[in-house]
């Protein structure tokens, strides 16, 4: 696969409202979008750091993957998202061939008009990994 950049870091939080003052007032970043991704049961807030984005993830349901992560004591960085130039489908096929465990066998719609797919952290040195590309 051809990774062009880190698109974003996903950061799990209990409440976007509670943590935004840290990111905006202390770090001086600006939240430019808030979007709910119903499919993933999360509310997201985006801030830019140069070309890389931070995606704050607040669960909207106890069944959300992010809610489970927080419940089990997970904090902070939840996933790393890589932009793939040759497409998520192609990247997934290559990962599958190499025996990497896929969470998503086909891409699905994520925030910011991206197609996304996750690789299981058990196959990716413990880092929940997202592959993404802009929707066409
Ligand atoms: N990073 C690293 N490891 C993680 C993890 C994470 N974010 N989430 C879970 N794990 C680990 C757990 O620690 C656990 O390890 P051990 O077995 O050693 O204890 C293992 O993975 C299994 O975890 P679990 O708590 O039993 O949770 P599940 O297997 O039910 O789910 C996962 C884990 C990764 C499959 C699930 O969270 C998932 O499908 N994630 C992808 C979707 C997602 O995260 N969506 C939210 C963001 C959406 C967006 O950005 O738009």
Q: What is the pLDDT of residues 55-100, one digit of tens each?
A: 999 999 999 999 999 999 988 999 999 999 999 999 999 999 999 9
- 105 ligand 1 Cβ < 6 A: no
Number of compact structural domains in the chain = 1
Helix (H, G, I), strand (E, B) or coil at 5: strand
**Ligand 1 atom index nearest CA of 72:** 25
Q: Where are the beta strands (DSSP E) in 23-128?
A: 31-37, 42-49, 52-59, 76-84, 108-109, 114-119
Average pLDDT over residues 20-33: 98
Query: pTM of this prediction?
Result: 0.96
| Domain limits for position 43 | 3-134
What CATH number corresponds to the domain at position 36?
A: 3.10.180.10
* 72 close to ligand 1 (CB < 6 Angstrom): yes
| CA atoms in the 13 A half-sphere facing the CB of 38 | 0
């Amino acid at each position: 696969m051809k990774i062009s950049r880190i698109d974003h870091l996903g950061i799990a939080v209990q409440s976007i409202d509670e943590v935004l003052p840290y990111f905006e007032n202390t770090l001086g970043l600006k939240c430019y979008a808030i979007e709910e991704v119903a499919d993933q049961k999360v509310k997201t807030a985006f801030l830019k750091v140069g070309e890389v984005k931070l995606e704050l993830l607040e669960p909207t349901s106890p069944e959300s993957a992010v809610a489970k992560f927080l419940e089990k004591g997970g904090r902070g960085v939840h996933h790393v998202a890589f932009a793939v130039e040759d497409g998520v489908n192609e990247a997934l096929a290559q990962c599958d061939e190499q025996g990497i465990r896929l969470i998503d066998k086909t891409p699905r719609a994520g925030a910011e008009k991206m197609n996304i797919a996750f690789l299981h952290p058990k196959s990716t040195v413990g880092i929940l990994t997202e592959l993404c590309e802009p929707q066409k």
